[in-house]
Amino acid sequence: MKNNARKHIVPQDRREFLKQSGCLLLGFQLMPVVSCEVKGNGDKAGPDVFPQAPDRDSVDAWIRLGEEGKLTVLTGKMELGQGIQTALMQIAADELDLDMDRVSIIIADTAQTADERYTAGSGSIEGSGSSIRRAAAEARHILLEMAAKRWEVPVAQLTVRDGTVEGPAPGQETTYWQLLAGQQINKKVSGHVSGKDPKDYKWVGQPVPRKDIVKMVTAQPVYIHDLRLPGMVHARVVRPPVYKARLTGLPEEEVEQLEGVLKIVRDGSFLAVIAEEEYQAIRAWRLMQAKCKWETENLEPAEEDLFDHMREHAEPPETVEEAQGMDKAWESAAIIYEATYKRPYHIHGSTGPSCAVAKWANERLEVWSPTQGVYPLRRTLSDLLSMDEGHIHVRGVPGSGCYGHNGADDVSAEAALLARAFPERPVRLQWMREDEHKWEPFGSAMILKLKGSMDRSGKLTAWETQIWSDTHSTRPNGQAGHFVSARYLEKPFAFAPGGFSGGSYRNASPLYDIPAKQIILHNYRGPLRTSALRSLGAYANIFALESFMDEMAEEAGMDPVAFRLKHLRDERAKAVIEKLAAHTGFPDHEPVPGSGRGIAFSKYKNTAAYFAVLAEVELDTAQRQYRIKKLTGCLEAGQTINPDGIINQTEGGMIQAASWTLMEAVRYDPQAGVTSTNWSSYPIMRFDQVPEIEVLLIDRPEEKPLGAGEAAQGPVGAAIANALYRASGQRLQELPLTFDKIDWGKVGKLREG
């Protein structure tokens, strides 16, 4: 092998390195960055163990009044583009009466932040936000008691303005930082201190700008892809053509002669190359891709047989929800209606391929990762590498897209394996586009068979949903077999998927008032790798449920808004539908011929945000195409922390769901594996296809905040299908709703009929 290695950088002291690179404040900053003192359990760390975060029940696990005049907020949640950094800082600033420019934040760091498992399920504001609010309220109470004791006055006589505490007498003035005198509040959060009255908020409810967006648009370092460490080398992983393939031939000598190649790493059928420069690694990767030999197995069933195979090879049915009186309801029904809906596999479609950086030195591992869960990742790396968790430090760094369990954890594990094989220097591994498209976990294909009954007045009396689905959660949480490359090592880790998650039937149970409801799940282990994709099974379940509600409304001879309101008791649910209908004039103002409008609604997970949406579509019969002209949504998520942030999240969800609905589907071949390997073979919505988007917001500051990041997915798909029916007269029930599924010769005739 050519010796093209540069002089190694002398490793820094561990604590100094942590100070330089351990804190990820608002956005992402390259070294050097503001350092944060690790407290709590970190003080007990031995010389070979990384500092550990304080106990999550402690105030200083969530907020730290450290440097004079500054507040640091800590969260175990990741910034995935949803704007939680700004929203969480708003919450803390309000509870402590601080201006926003005093506040910074640290995200997802196993040496500094609490274990909050995954950033998923639209739960960051509900979970981390409530913890930060309680801790900040507790801290304010403690600090005011300290000042009151010093001046021997009641707490009620004190006021706070931007961290300055003032007493009733002239000259009685101090700051939080003077009261603490360099110490932290390491007391437990009692839970007995109430947060502020919403009417006293200064920041919560305001559209505070996100500083990380400024960094993005001005091309400053933000993402893991931007990270550059001293002495860093670059790597690429060579993948098999299809799942379960085994490596049988490798052009080792030819690769070793390439300029810049430092090492070929092979462990069983796990194969990678490390080089000085990124393009050198890519060049070696291309050669290995072309000349490696593999023994392969066919994927079964074939794509065209998938849905039949799901029905025939599913596990015995599991009753998720069952009500008494189903048989009687069917027998007495005036109308019984049935329909079946289908969803294909979906790719996450992250803008940039997954990337991670890892460094192995002195039998300790540091990983910079875009993972959604730094602690679950650390636990799983511990299993993969047979090393103590205390010897692993994982820092969360934003990636270029996520939407669930994509390749972020896999690339982090692979970077760790390569760092162990090439110690002392940081190893940067970035997936290629085809890696991302072929090897990430997909959102599962699903079949949904719905059956409903009504009495003569058009009231629903019974509802049954049967679901066929693969799992929606195989996130790594301690078992190395959940890393895809761990299954290809010389001593492979078995993939043990465990039980099927509730993600399959998320939102399958209607929120509507129906006397008898039954949900039956048919678990299925399919040919492709699956896990969490934004909203999990809710997208398909709501697509089916809200399409079915429109179809039932037509059977009952009622307009779709009146039919939904007739079956809702939840006043907040009614409010989003009524506001949307009033704003758009639906269904009273019918569109011109050749176009159509459709509505859909859900309460995400039946516990989170309320969302109703109206889709407007236009047909082009000459070109045999249609387009979405406009999507109008109405969202209610309880107390709104940052209206700009929640509207942005909703707009993004609406566009993504529209893309899923119109065009997205994973294609695969028994011999070649996944064939959707790029943006041509897996098209997504382009900028010129994005419809006009409008989001109406209902703020309820007196209510607790509700998760909103995934609220838009399901209703958008159903609203498009319902609008397309009104435009074409045809019900499309298999996603994606592509142009070729419309019988263009019958457009207009069916509508008139």
Question: Which one, of 136, 140, 129, lies nearest residue 75 by Cα?
Answer: 129
> What's the pLDDT tens digit per position in 417-427?
999 999 999 99
Q: How far is CA 596 from CA 240, 564, 723, 725, in A?
A: 46, 19, 5, 7
Mean pLDDT of 246-272: 97
> What's the pLDDT tens digit per position in 544-558?
999 999 999 999 999
Per DSSP bridges, beta strands 673-674 and 610-620 are unpaired
Q: Are 445 and 310 in contact (CB under 8 A)?
A: yes
- Spatial distance between the Cα atoms of 81 and 534, rounded to a whole number of angstroms: 13
The confidence score (pLDDT) of residue 318 equals 94
Mean pLDDT of 668-674: 95
Do 228 and 207 belong to one domain? no
Q: Answer whether residue 41 shows pLDDT above 60.
A: no
Q: Is the bond into 701 cis (omega within 30 degrees of 0)?
A: no
Long-range contacts of 152-157 (CB under 8 A, 24+ apart): none
For a pLDDT cut of 70, what percent of the chain falls above it?
92
At 207, which CATH number?
3.30.365.10
Query: In this structure, what DSSP letter does residue 121 have?
Result: T
Q: Answer whether residue 709 shows pLDDT above 50.
A: yes
First to last CA, the chain: 76
| Position 330 in a domain | no
Q: What are phi and psi of 283, to 5 degrees?
A: -60, -45
SS3 582: helix
DSSP string for residues in 421-437: HSTTS-EEEE--HHHHH
pTM for the structure as a whole? 0.91
Do 146 and 240 belong to one domain? no
Mean pLDDT of 278-297: 97
| Position 230 in a domain | yes
Q: Which residues pair with 517 in a beta bridge?
A: 463
| Position 8 in a domain | no
Question: What is the CA angle 151-177-132, rounded to 5?
Answer: 105
Do 58 and 170 belong to one domain? yes
Q: Answer whether residue 33 shows pLDDT above 80.
A: no
Residue 80: pLDDT band by 50, 70, 90 thresholds? confident
Q: Answer whether residue 35 shows pLDDT above 60.
A: no
The confidence score (pLDDT) of residue 9 equals 30
Do 419 and 485 belong to one domain? no
Do 156 and 193 belong to one domain? yes
| Position 54 in a domain | yes
Total number of domains in the chain:
3
Q: Are 201 and 94 in contact (CB under 8 A)?
A: yes
Q: Which of 47-51, 145-149, 479-483, 508-512 has the lowest mean pLDDT?
A: 47-51
Do 134 and 255 belong to one domain? no
- Angle between the N-to-C axes of helices 84-95 and 130-151, in degrees from 0 to 180, rounded to the nearest 10: 30
Rg of the Cα atoms in the chain:
28
Query: To which residue do tokens 């008691």 refer?
Result: 145
Q: Is the bond into 587 cis (omega within 30 degrees of 0)?
A: yes
> What's the pLDDT tens digit per position in 175-206?
999 999 988 898 999 989 988 999 999 999 99
Tokens representing 470 are: 């693969």
Last residue of some domain: 439, 464, 497?
439
**Residue 578, CA atoms < 13 Å, CB-side half-sphere:** 10
For a pLDDT cut of 90, what percent of the chain falls above it?
82
Q: Answer whether residue 149 shows pLDDT above 80.
A: yes
Could you count the other beta carbons within 10 Å of the beta carbon of residue 565? 17
Q: What are phi and psi of 291, to 5 degrees?
A: -115, -10
DSSP string for residues in 542-568: HHHHHHHHHHHHHHHT--HHHHHHHT-
Residue 582: pLDDT band by 50, 70, 90 thresholds? very high
The confidence score (pLDDT) of residue 28 equals 35
SS3 651: helix
Residue 82: pLDDT band by 50, 70, 90 thresholds? confident
Q: Which of 21-25, 153-157, 395-399, 739-743 has the lowest mean pLDDT?
A: 21-25
The confidence score (pLDDT) of residue 125 equals 85
Do 57 and 78 belong to one domain? yes
Mean pLDDT of 632-652: 96
Q: What are phi and psi of 247, to 5 degrees?
A: -75, 125
Mean pLDDT of 433-452: 97
Do 556 and 676 belong to one domain? yes
| Position 9 in a domain | no
- Spatial distance between the Cα atoms of 26 and 211, rounded to a whole number of angstroms: 7
- Spatial distance between the Cα atoms of 160 and 176, rounded to a whole number of angstroms: 9
Could you count the other beta carbons within 10 Å of the beta carbon of residue 190? 13
Mean pLDDT of 447-460: 97
Q: Mean pLDDT score of the chain, rounded to an integer?
A: 91
Composition of the chain by helix, strand, coil, percent to 5: 35, 20, 45
Residues 6+ apart with CB under 8 A from 594: 618, 619, 621, 727, 748
- Spatial distance between the Cα atoms of 119 and 128, rounded to a whole number of angstroms: 10
Tokens representing 14 are: 């561990």
| Position 267 in a domain | yes
Higher pLDDT, 540 or 748: 540
Query: To which residue do tokens 């490359």 refer?
Result: 485
Mean pLDDT of 326-334: 92
Q: Answer whether residue 27 shows pLDDT above 60.
A: no
Tokens representing 694 are: 């409008």
Q: Are 234 and 274 in contact (CB under 8 A)?
A: yes
Q: Are 142 and 154 in contact (CB under 8 A)?
A: no
Last residue of some domain: 439, 462, 495?
439
Residue 542: pLDDT band by 50, 70, 90 thresholds? very high
- Spatial distance between the Cα atoms of 270 and 373, rounded to a whole number of angstroms: 24
Do 395 and 513 belong to one domain? no
Q: Which domain holds residue 530?
A: 446-752
> What's the pLDDT tens digit per position in 332-390?
999 999 999 999 999 999 889 999 999 999 999 999 999 999 999 999 999 999 999 99
Could you count the other beta carbons within 10 Å of the beta carbon of residue 498? 12
The confidence score (pLDDT) of residue 374 equals 97
Question: Which one, of 90, 103, 171, 516, lies nearest residue 327 by Cα?
Answer: 516
- Spatial distance between the Cα atoms of 223 and 28, rounded to a whole number of angstroms: 7
Question: Which one, of 5, 491, 4, 485, lies nearest residue 272 by Cα?
Answer: 485
| Position 314 in a domain | no
Residues 6+ apart with CB under 8 A from 582: none
Q: Answer whether residue 271 shows pLDDT above 90.
A: yes
SS3 665: coil
Q: Answer whether residue 100 shows pLDDT above 50.
A: yes
Residues 6+ apart with CB under 8 A from 601: 546, 564, 573, 576, 577, 610, 611, 612, 613, 715
The confidence score (pLDDT) of residue 46 equals 56
Residue 534: pLDDT band by 50, 70, 90 thresholds? very high
Q: Which of 311-315, 587-591, 725-729, 743-747 has the lowest mean pLDDT?
A: 587-591
- Measured torsion, CA atoms of residues 503, 508, 510, 516, in degrees rounded to the nearest 10: -120
- Spatial distance between the Cα atoms of 314 and 301, rounded to a whole number of angstroms: 13
Tokens representing 86 are: 């700004």
Do 204 and 67 belong to one domain? yes
The confidence score (pLDDT) of residue 2 equals 37
Last residue of some domain: 187, 216, 245?
216
| Position 729 in a domain | yes
Do 412 and 540 belong to one domain? no
Query: In this structure, what DSSP letter does residue 129 have?
Result: I
E strands of 184-317, at which residues? 233-238, 246-249, 261-267, 270-275, 293-295
Query: To which residue do tokens 């000042």 refer?
Result: 147
Do 492 and 426 belong to one domain? no
